[in-house]
Amino acid sequence: MLHEPQEYKPIISAEAPEELKEKIGKLGVIETSVHTPPYTMHKFWARRPWRVFRELITRFTKPGDIILDPFAGGGVTLVEGLIARRRVIAVDLNPLAVKIMKHEVKPLNMGLYKGALKRLAEVIEPVASEIYAVRCPHCGGKAMAIWTEYDSTSNKPIRIYYECPICGSKGIKKPEPGDLPEPQSMPQFRRVQIPIGDKTSDLLKRGIRFFDQLYTKRNLYMVLRLKEEIERLGDPFDEDVKSFLLFTLSSTLKWASKMSTYEDP
């Protein structure tokens, strides 16, 4: 059965000034849309629709006004306020939220950033070609694992999608002896315990008590090597470029971890 759409009636405090009541009453329904690029740079939970915030900011403030958001989270108020030429004070207790907001609005020299990526690739790609190496089932040569599926119970690889630079073949193969050699050593890092909470209870029940346990030894090695190489970059790559590179690495961590899932089409 189809229902007629109901008229939108906002809940307005009786103590609100009359002028404010009138503005709220005229808001109507604000259509939302997908996140724009600043909000896709890094995952953050419960980001609010940017178009709604843009409308609220332009309706209830004027250019040059100061906006305070004491629970700024993923930075929607900050970004939309600055775009609308407002001054914004964005506050959050979560250090990840603060880091995300800083990078959402910070200028970046893209030429230097791309140059740093090229420099990193020169160092990291030879390492990756060794520890992600698999035997090509067509020519027997050295191919590269693009992704690997692990059994959730045994934690062993069961399927590998590979690409071979020698014969050009690619596809899915079963792991065989010699595939995916583990790194011989591990860069030093500080183990951080996973806190108890609603979102972590399932991990703790499965015996995952430290964040490094969310990664295979191979992927953890690559994440730590990337971090080391970023921090080691010298001239002409300044601290801003290195900060954005570490921010980029942080945004990819989910896809390098055991939390990344795959479903057959």
Per-residue model confidence as pLDDT tens for the chain (265 residues): 455 555 666 677 778 788 877 877 777 778 888 899 999 999 998 888 999 999 999 999 999 999 999 999 999 999 999 999 999 999 999 999 999 999 999 999 999 999 999 999 999 999 999 999 999 999 999 999 999 999 878 889 999 999 999 999 999 999 999 999 999 899 999 999 999 988 899 899 988 999 999 999 999 999 999 999 999 999 999 999 999 999 999 999 999 998 887 666 5
- How far is it, in rounded angstroms, from Cα 130 to Cα 252? 21
Strand pairing partners for 133? Answer: 144
DSSP state of 3: -
| Separation of alpha carbons 174 and 159, rounded Å | 5
List helix spans (H) across 84-187. 95-105, 110-131
Give buried/exposed letters for 84-109 (b at 16+ CB in 10 A, else e).
bebebebebeeeebeebbebbeeeee
Rounded (5°) CA angle 207-209-215: 90
Cα 200 to chain centroid, rounded: 18
Q: How many residues are recorded in the chain? A: 265
pLDDT of residue 9: 66
End-to-end CA distance of the chain: 33
Q: Is 136 exposed, middle or buried (0-12, 13-18, 19+ CB in 10 A)?
A: buried
User: Cβ neighbours of residue 173 under 8 Å, at least 6 residues apart?
Assistant: 134, 137, 159, 160, 162
